Structure formats: C-alpha cells, structure tokens
C-alpha cells in the first residue's frame, strides 16, 4: 500500500476514486481493515484513472474517509464529503492528531 488513497490489487496500483490518501499510520490502518475484511477487493473503473473498490460490500474509500485515514478530494461524491465531516467532528484519524 502506497498511501490510504492507493492500494495494490492483483499486483496493480489502484488509485481510489474521490479521495486523497495519507501515508504512514493511516495507510497501515486501511491495509489492516482490508485484511480484516478478508482481502477480497472488487474494483470498478471510475473517472480520472481511478477506481471505486469494495470489500465485503463496503466502499473502501468511504471507510478510509469516515475513519480519518483519507480526505475527500475536490469533486468527490457527497457521501465522501459527509464522511469527512463526521471524521473531523469525531476527531478520528488524521483529524485527531
């Protein structure tokens, strides 16, 4: 894992749609989340050379933002912006440092 906005799936670097990732601890925490969920990631192509990825039906990017491991990027879906506001208010992850 490069950062919390780019994961490796089947040997390919996958940029997650709608988020800006963080390195270090947030990246490690996202990697642990994916492993805990079984490491079975399904991805769909989105605009701007990025992908929407899911693990056990959960949106990986949304989970990263909601837990303060990433930021919603400009033009991100509203659910990502809402998740970032919730993470900020609860001082999760990067918002609690």
**Which residue ranges form the domains of the chain, and what is each CATH number?**
6-96 (2.40.50.90)
Please choose, from the candidates 70, 67, 66, the residue with its C-alpha nearest in 3D space to the C-alpha of residue 7: 70
Question: What is the structure's pLDDT at 15?
Answer: 95
Q: How confident is the model at residue 49 (pLDDT cuts 50, 70, 90)?
A: confident
Q: What's the CA gap between 35 and 56, in Å, rounded? A: 11
Q: How confident is the model at residue 1 (pLDDT cuts 50, 70, 90)?
A: low
Question: What is the structure's pLDDT at 36?
Answer: 94
What are the residues whose beta carbons fall under 8 Å from the beta carbon of 65, sequence distance 6 or more? Answer: 19, 71, 72, 80, 83, 84, 87
Which tokens belong to 26?
Answer: 């947030």
Average pLDDT over residues 27-50: 92
Q: How confident is the model at residue 24 (pLDDT cuts 50, 70, 90)?
A: very high
pLDDT tens string 52-86: 999 999 999 999 999 999 999 999 999 999 999 99
């Amino acid at each position: 894992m490069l950062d919390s906005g780019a994961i490796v799936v089947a040997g390919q670097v996958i940029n997650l749609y709608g988020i800006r990732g963080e390195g270090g601890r947030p990246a490690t925490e996202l990697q642990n989340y994916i492993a805990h969920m079984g490491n079975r990631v399904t991805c769909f192509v989105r605009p701007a050379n990025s992908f929407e990825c899911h693990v056990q039906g959960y949106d990986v990017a949304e989970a990263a933002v909601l837990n303060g491991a990433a930021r919603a990027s400009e033009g991100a879906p509203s659910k990502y912006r809402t998740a970032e506001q919730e993470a900020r208010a609860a001082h999760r992850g990067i918002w609690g440092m």
